[in-house]
Amino acid sequence: MKTLLDRLERAGRFAENTALVVLIATMIGVSVFQIINRQLLGGSFSMSWADELVKIIVLWLAMVGSIAACRDNKHIRIDLITHILSGPVVAWIKIVVDIFAAAVCAMIGWQAYRLVREEAGWGDMVLTDIPLWLVHAIVPVAFMLISYQFLVRVVKLLHGLFGPEPDKAGS
């Protein structure tokens, strides 16, 4: 079971990192081409979609980057108290904070899902023929994945507190 979870974690990490690289490369490529087109080619190529695409990529980068930051525990965290205290008290504070963060992210994810579901009925399109709700679908997915990651961290912290003690007889 543990190897399956490890494989899933590695696959998720690979997917997140690949998405970040592809999104950043696309955003840079489109932006650089826009600059070259405007400055050197006198706007020879019609790229009315480019600004909209870059805005969409920024949204997706923010969401996928948030997932990756949470995965690596590199997200913004106000944790002055954990630098002052030590021992199991810190673990319990982290557990409470992570449960709260998971609940908040799940609530935001649920509300974002409701909005995207509502948006699907509006019929709005971006980049000519892509439904707007499809572009915005990253928001509820990202917040639910972030919530999940906080819960996984809680389980790991609880396992660290109550899990089996290492065998000290062999040391």
DSSP 92-109: HHHHHHHHHHHHHHHHHH
User: 167 pLDDT band (50/70/90 cuts)?
Assistant: low
**What's the chain's Rg over C-alpha atoms?**
21
Percent of the chain having pLDDT more than 90? 53
Q: How far is CA 117 from CA 48, 58, 60, 71, 106, in A?
A: 28, 22, 18, 27, 16
126 strand-pairing partners: 130
In the chain, domain spans: 1-75, 77-171
Q: Which two tokens stand for residue 122?
A: 């509006």
The answer, yes or no, to whether residue 168 has pLDDT greater than 80, is: no
The answer, yes or no, to whether residue 159 has pLDDT greater than 80, is: yes
Instruction: For the full predicted model, state whether its pTM sits above 0.85.
Output: no
Percent of the chain having pLDDT more than 70? 94
pLDDT digits (tens, 9 = 90+) for 36-78: 988 888 878 877 888 899 999 999 999 999 999 998 887 777 7
Question: What's the confidence (pLDDT) of residue 53?
Answer: 93
Distance CA 45, CA 39 (A): 12
Are the beta carbons of 57 and 131 closer than 8 angstroms?
Answer: no
> Rounded mean pLDDT of the chain?
87
Q: Which two tokens stand for residue 36?
A: 């070259």
User: 7 pLDDT band (50/70/90 cuts)?
Assistant: confident
**Per-residue pLDDT averaged across 16-30, rounded?**
95
User: 20 pLDDT band (50/70/90 cuts)?
Assistant: very high
pLDDT digits (tens, 9 = 90+) for 95-121: 999 999 999 999 999 999 999 999 999
